[in-house]
């Protein structure tokens, strides 16, 4: 057996180092992070992520063809896909396309493709405007239906 006694530290040398060396730096960084997080939450709450803001289309229109300003071929199809409970018609350069010449490809979808036996065999080159007029399918067509207009270009 050994008679060795454990060494005792001198008084005052058992002092622990502080948890944070610079508490004001920690407090400053914590407050800055809290401000950045609050600003992020505020901006996300105020952000407009509605369909109309992100696509430029009203909520009643799912998609349009061609896109605004797009260049298409003289035989391409124009049209709009509306919300499922809606129906509509197309107006090309101020002239309504006859209902018998429109294609109803699906629920709420209305389209026109020029060709034989139609008022237009192909779109003339240049810029054209198209308007989709739409209303609730279960109701009669109103005198002034809701509408959305855009332009497209046709190449030679």
Three-class SS state of 152: strand
Helix, coil or strand: residue 134? strand
b/e code 88-123 from CB counts within 10 Å (16+ = b)? bbbbbeeeebeeeebeeeeebbbbbbbeeeeebeeb
Distance CA 40, CA 25 (A): 23
Report CA dihedral (88, 89, 94, 98) to the nearest 10 degrees.
-160
Query: What is d(CA 78, CA 59) in angstroms, rounded to the nearest whole number?
Result: 19
pTM: 0.65
In CATH, what number does 52-154 get? Answer: 2.60.40.1220
Give Cα 4 to chain centroid, integer Å: 80
Neighbours of 1 (CB within 10 A): 3
Q: What is the pLDDT of residue 7?
A: 62
Residue extents of the structural domains in the chain:
52-154
Distance, in Å, from the CA atom of 103 to the CA atom of 110, rounded to the nearest integer, reads 6
pLDDT of residue 51: 45
Cβ(138)–Cβ(110) below 8 Å: no
> Contact at 8 Å (CB) between 72 and 123?
yes
Looking at residue 47, what is its pLDDT? Answer: 59
Please count the other Cβ atoms lying within 10 Å of the Cβ belonging to residue 36: 10
pLDDT 10s per residue in the chain (156 long)?
556 666 665 655 556 666 667 777 777 877 888 888 877 777 666 655 544 445 688 999 999 999 999 999 999 999 999 998 999 999 999 999 999 999 988 788 999 999 999 999 999 999 999 999 999 989 999 999 999 999 999 997
């Amino acid at each position: 057996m050994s008679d060795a006694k454990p060494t005792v530290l001198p008084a005052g040398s058992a002092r622990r180092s502080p948890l944070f060396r610079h508490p004001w730096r920690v407090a400053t960084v914590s407050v800055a992070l809290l401000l950045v997080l609050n600003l992020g939450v505020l901006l996300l709450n105020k952000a407009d992520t509605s369909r109309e803001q992100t696509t430029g289309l009203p909520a009643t229109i799912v998609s349009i063809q061609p896109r605004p300003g797009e260049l298409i071929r003289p035989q391409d199809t124009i049209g709009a896909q509306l919300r499922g409970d809606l129906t509509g018609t197309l107006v090309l350069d101020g002239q309504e396309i006859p209902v018998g010449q429109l294609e109803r490809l699906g629920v709420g979808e209305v389209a026109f493709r020029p060709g034989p036996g139609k008022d237009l065999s192909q779109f003339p080159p240049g810029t054209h405007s198209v308007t989709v007029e739409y209303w609730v399918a279960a109701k009669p067509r109103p005198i002034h239906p809701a509408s959305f207009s855009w332009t497209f270009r046709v190449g030679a």
